[in-house]
Amino acid sequence: MKDWDEACAYALSLPDVEMAPWWGTPCPKVNGKGFMSPSREPGSFALAVTHPEKQILFETDPDTFWQTDHYRNYPMLLVRYDTGARERIELYIQRAWWDRAKPAQRKAFGERP
């Protein structure tokens, strides 16, 4: 992903995602629940993940996935643009969507990515 617009375009390709305000900023949401947002940190966006996934991502790809103290105890992390990890970033965007999807949406989509 090269920038926020490209990250949003991918998120919007998932079922029932719309751009709507989240903390005062337009962000991708499903069922009224946000799962990613632009970051105040240059060159990154914030993405919701589970705490176990967060640790794995920090350990296996710290060039792409990182955090500031703001996200330390929260189930989100920062994702750097242009790291060459596009497929992995897309996978975690899908997981963030799936975790906020309704049961019928999950069933139509399939197992958690």
d(CA 65, CA 80): 7
The two three-digit tokens of residue 107, written as one number: 């069933």
| Bridging pattern class, strands 65-66 and 44-48 | unpaired
* Residue 59: its H or E element: helix 51-60
How crowded is residue 26: how many other Cβ atoms within 10 Å of its Cβ?
14
At 9-65, the pLDDT tens digits run 999 999 999 999 998 999 999 999 999 999 999 999 999 999 999 999 999 999 999
At 92-110, the pLDDT tens digits run 999 999 999 999 999 999 9
